[in-house]
Amino acid sequence: MALKQRAKKAFSSKEEFKKFIQTKEQGTYFNEDLLPSPPSHRTWTALHFFAYYLTQTFSPSSYNLGATLVSIGLTWWHGIIAAAIGSSILSAIVILNSRGATRYHVGFPVYVRAAAGVAGSRLFIVVRASVAIIYFATQSYYGGRVTAVALRAIFGSAWERIPNTLPASAGITSANLLAFFVFWIVQFPFMFVHPVVIRHLFVAKSVVTTAGFLGVFGWAVGSNGGSLGNFNFGTPALSGAALVWPMIQAINSVMAALCPILINQPDIASASVNVLGKAYWNVWDLYDAILTAYWGPAARAGVFFASFVSRKDSN
């Protein structure tokens, strides 16, 4: 039944709504969510994974991370180097952590059983859930603050005149708390969307966030007279031995920002279409496959020199 028809039926009566929100009574060792993803759910392509990680790159937490690296005494190019090193390590972990999930199409709870066993996997699931709660709370807070800015842009001075009835110890104003609830209302329905469907949202989001990032960047450069500035942030630049630990801290901060996503990687990798490419254990099968896939003058010449000329003097 289509999602629209299911939603319409769910709100047709009180009994139907109870059936709609009722969860299935299944065991923890074997249930529908632990089974390998059926072929109909294996819909994530390279485009969807690229869009997913691009949206994480242009998130408020990534912006805050860059500003933090500068505040601890790193120059802009130190921050870029730290981000490149941390991202390279993260990329390797993503690939390794996705290998089993893309091959067997199972999520994290099943994937971790290979290392910890059925009973031992519960500890890692609890750790994963704890990390996910912290990550979700942080991202929700960021979302609430950004929503507050968006509401101010809509309502102008009316938003600024909202009286604050909360004490200073609360760490938040009434307006920001209202924006947080608004953000919760907006994001709540998306929690019930299956990853098979929500992949389209990441593609659309990647376009919007990239355009927004480039737009703000262009506005900042234009407001500065078309110049990028001198990158002098008023903090003394570190060098020598004093630079070592801040660089290590910066690399660790880059990696820590995406750790929750790395843990969840098998859950989205299990929905991938297939593993990109095929591994060949001998070189002649590899060259033969290249000819089959890319038959043409360039491929034929390249395979000829690689297979014959490079080996003719071996003996």
Amino acid at 72: I
pTM: 0.72
Shared domain for 174 and 305, answered yes or no, is no
Shared domain for 48 and 185, answered yes or no, is yes
Task: Judge whether 7 lies within some domain.
Answer: no
Q: In whole angstroms, what separates CA 82 from the centre of its chain?
A: 19
CA distance 183 to 203: 21
Task: Judge whether 2 lies within some domain.
Answer: no
Shared domain for 246 and 294, answered yes or no, is no
Shared domain for 199 and 293, answered yes or no, is no
CA distance 178 to 148: 8
Asked if 177 and 166 count as a contact pair (C-beta separation under 8 A), the reply is yes
Q: What is the pLDDT along the chain (315 residues), one digit of tens a residue?
A: 556 677 777 777 877 777 777 766 666 777 777 888 888 888 888 888 888 888 887 777 777 777 777 777 788 888 888 888 988 998 888 888 888 888 888 888 888 888 888 889 899 989 988 988 988 898 899 899 999 999 999 998 899 899 999 998 988 999 999 999 999 999 998 888 877 888 888 888 888 888 888 888 898 888 888 877 776 666 666 667 778 888 888 888 888 877 777 777 888 888 888 665 666 667 777 778 888 878 888 878 877 777 765 555 555
Nearby residues of 45 by Cβ (< 8 Å), 6 or more positions away: 272, 273
Asked if 118 and 29 count as a contact pair (C-beta separation under 8 A), the reply is yes
Shared domain for 263 and 296, answered yes or no, is no
Q: 3-class DSSP state for residue 228?
A: coil
Task: Judge whether 93 lies within some domain.
Answer: yes
Boundaries of domain holding 297? 277-314
At 10, list the tokens.
């769910």
Task: Judge whether 221 lies within some domain.
Answer: no
CA distance 232 to 217: 18
How much is the pLDDT for 195? 79
Shared domain for 141 and 240, answered yes or no, is yes
Task: Judge whether 129 lies within some domain.
Answer: yes
Shared domain for 157 and 305, answered yes or no, is no
Shared domain for 124 and 256, answered yes or no, is yes
The CA R_g of the chain, rounded to the nearest whole Å, is: 25
Digit-coded pLDDT (tens) for 250-304: 888 888 877 777 777 888 888 888 665 666 667 777 778 888 878 888 878 877 7
Shared domain for 171 and 255, answered yes or no, is yes
Shared domain for 267 and 290, answered yes or no, is no
DSSP 90-134: HHHHHHHHHHHHHHH---HHHHTHHHHHHHHHHHHHHHHHHHHHH
Task: Judge whether 231 lies within some domain.
Answer: no
Total domains in the chain come to 2
Q: How many CB atoms sit inside 10 A of residue 65's CB?
A: 20
Shared domain for 306 and 254, answered yes or no, is no
Residue 44, phi then psi, degrees to nearest 5: -80, 120
Shared domain for 52 and 144, answered yes or no, is yes
Q: Give 141: exposed, middle or buried? Use CB within 10 Å, 0-12, 13-18, 19+.
A: middle
At 146, list the tokens.
């950004």
Asked if 32 and 24 count as a contact pair (C-beta separation under 8 A), the reply is yes
Digit-coded pLDDT (tens) for 202-222: 888 888 888 888 888 898 888
How much is the pLDDT for 150? 92
